[in-house]
């Protein structure tokens, strides 16, 4: 591979129609979702565009003191990573339909009139984002409490979904639509708005950050190229990322989505991604270097994101993999849409009963166990599950996720995965008494979670178990 030639192809594809690209430039095939370019992330926007977009945002947010970000997958996990760096006070995220998760956030709001709910969806129609945002209308009944980030072509959909009077901004600072969700950080408002707020709405401080971050661009390009050279010949890729600077659940899921959704479920290639903040032994896993020579924790986070995106683009070029689409996600969405009201209820299993089912089936031969909880768990439960599976299945790599966010960051790769068992854990509650949500909204959210969990199971049935836990 010739780095300069590939960089030239990538730069050309960013600013061209697919039909105008030569057959030699395969980014026309691997960097477009059908006819739509998804390579806008490659070139950082000029700060003048950022300044203009944030000045407009400031008119909406100038008197706001608390912020709730609502979104799924790539629309929220980068924000979680920013907030986790320790300066995101009065910032909250919601990516769970479970009324308990919504209650947990709303109970912390000090002044509703000074709160801004920022809902994020490229298409404006993401089911969970719409339902969570509607649920929040039970608590915030003023249109000044809401703002949408979406693509300009989706603004009309917001009107049809009863958000006519709510302000909206384009996700991209240039009002473009060529950046997909998992590539939206750090070059769009999904990253820049929360960082601007962390900087206490100080544009000069943000400008200094942007100058520092973009100065590392060539270094990041070179480093990503070097890492791809180490793995480009492999047909299977077990990637381990040890992130010791600012790792969090949000960043782990952001990284996982970038790798699993971009590279996963391709017929000619298989990938599994594990993200940790401490060294663990994982047989046959390749460690990807994340020790970037970058000063500043926010600059490091932005640099890490861009570096990993470049790694994906370069490896995909070599493997001829379309790394910007996610066709299999539509499979469970179609199943969900066609699901009848009387769909089967899950089995109720204890952990011991679950262990027996796994050990007495062909699933016991699988290398990985991914457990997806379609409800809001307590910290005590998550620790209990991690400890139990590490003790009872020491030969497996166990990972724990929350649905339905998992559907937005890992379903794509799960669809054709033959090495993992997926434990689909449905909500165990039929109803919930909510202080902040109407009974109708709370019930609708729980029912939707149950439907999503069953639709997920039906489309992964040959490698999944569907049940509720005896808690």
Yes or no: say if 18 and 158 are a contact pair by the CB < 8 Å rule: no
CATH 3.40.50.10490, the chain: domain bounds: 47-210
pLDDT (tens place) for every residue of the chain, 471 residues total: 789 999 999 999 998 999 999 989 999 999 999 999 999 999 999 999 999 999 999 999 999 999 999 999 999 999 999 999 877 679 999 999 999 999 999 999 999 999 999 999 999 999 999 999 999 998 998 899 999 999 999 999 999 999 999 999 999 999 999 999 999 999 999 999 999 999 999 999 999 999 999 999 999 999 999 999 998 888 788 888 888 887 788 899 999 999 999 998 666 678 888 887 555 556 778 889 999 999 999 999 999 999 999 999 999 999 999 999 988 899 999 999 999 888 999 999 999 999 999 999 999 999 999 999 999 999 999 999 999 999 999 999 999 999 999 999 999 999 989 999 999 999 987 667 788 888 889 999 999 999 999 999 999 999 999 999 997
Yes or no: say if 184 and 171 are a contact pair by the CB < 8 Å rule: yes
* DSSP-derived secondary structure for 358-410: HHTSGGGG-SEEEEEESS---HHHHHHHHHHHHHH-TTSEEEEEETTHHHHHT
Residue 468, H or E segment:
strand 464-469
CA 130 to mean position of chain CA atoms: 16
115: left (phi over 0), alpha (psi -120 to 50) or beta: beta
Q: Assign domain 47-210 to its CATH architecture.
A: 3-Layer(aba) Sandwich (3.40)
Q: Please give the sequence-ordered ranges of beta strands (E in DSSP) within 195-279, or none if there are none.
A: 236-242, 270-276
Cα 329 to Cα 332, 401, 456, 459, distances in angstroms: 6, 17, 10, 10
Predicted pLDDT of residue 88: 67
| Separation CA 390–CA 410 (nearest Å) | 22
Cα 431 to Cα 14, 106, 233, 342, 435, distances in angstroms: 49, 19, 52, 17, 13
Predicted pLDDT of residue 318: 93
Predicted pLDDT of residue 434: 81
What string of H, E and C letters represents the secondary structure of 124-193? CCCHHHHHHHHHHCCCCCCHHHEEEEECHHHHHHHHHCCCCCCEEEECCCCCCCCCCHHHCCCCCHHHHH
End-to-end CA distance of the chain: 54
Closest by Cα among 307, 286, 280 to 240: 286
């Amino acid at each position: 591979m010739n780095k300069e030639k590939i960089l030239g192809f990538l730069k050309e594809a960013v600013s061209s129609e697919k039909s105008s690209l030569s057959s030699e430039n395969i980014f026309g095939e691997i960097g477009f979702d059908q006819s739509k370019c998804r390579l806008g992330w490659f070139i950082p926007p000029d700060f003048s565009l950022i300044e203009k977009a944030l000045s407009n945002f400031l008119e909406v947010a100038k008197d706001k003191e608390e912020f709730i970000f609502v979104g799924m997958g790539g629309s929220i996990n980068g924000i979680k990573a920013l907030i986790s760096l320790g300066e995101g006070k009065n910032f909250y995220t919601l990516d769970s339909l479970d009324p308990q998760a919504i209650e947990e956030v709303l109970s912390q709001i000090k002044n509703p009139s000074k709160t801004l709910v920022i809902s994020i969806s490229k298409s404006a129609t993401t089911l969970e984002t719409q339902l969570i945002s509607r649920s929040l209308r039970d608590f915030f009944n003023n249109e000044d409490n809401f703002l949408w980030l979406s693509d300009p072509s989706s603004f009309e959909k917001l009107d049809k979904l009863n958000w006519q009077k709510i302000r909206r901004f384009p996700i991209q600072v240039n009002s473009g639509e060529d950046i997909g969700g998992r590539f939206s950080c750090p070059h769009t408002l999904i990253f820049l708005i929360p960082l601007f707020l962390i900087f206490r709405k100080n544009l000069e401080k943000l400008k200094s950050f942007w100058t520092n971050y973009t100065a590392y661009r060539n270094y990041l390009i070179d480093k990503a190229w070097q890492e791809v050279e180490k793995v480009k010949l492999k047909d299977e890729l077990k990637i381990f990322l040890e992130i010791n600077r600012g790792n969090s659940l949000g960043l782990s899921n952001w990284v996982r989505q970038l790798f699993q959704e971009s590279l996963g479920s391709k017929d000619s290639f298989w990938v599994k991604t594990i993200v940790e903040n401490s060294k663990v032994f994982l047989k046959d896993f390749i460690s990807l270097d994340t020790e970037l020579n970058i000063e500043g924790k926010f600059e490091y986070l932005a640099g890490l994101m861009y570096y990993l995106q470049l790694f994906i683009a370069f490896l995909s070029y070599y493997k001829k993999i379309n790394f910007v689409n996610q066709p299999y996600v539509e499979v469970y969405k179609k199943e969900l849409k066609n699901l009848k009201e009387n769909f089967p209820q899950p089995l109720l299993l204890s952990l011991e009963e679950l262990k027996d089912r796994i050990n007495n089936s062909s699933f016991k031969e699988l290398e990985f166990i991914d457990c997806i909880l379609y409800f809001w768990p307590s910290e005590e439960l998550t620790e209990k599950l991690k400890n139990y599976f590490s003790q009872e299945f020491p030969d497996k790599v166990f990972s724990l996720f929350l649905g339905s966010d998992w559907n937005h960051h890992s379903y794509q790769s799960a669809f054709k995965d033959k090495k993992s068992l997926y434990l689909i854990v449905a909500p165990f509650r039929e109803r919930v008494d909510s202080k902040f949500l109407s009974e109708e909204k709370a019930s609708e959210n729980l029912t939707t979670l149950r439907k999503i969990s069953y639709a997920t199971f039906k489309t992964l049935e040959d490698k999944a178990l569907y049940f509720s836990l005896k808690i």
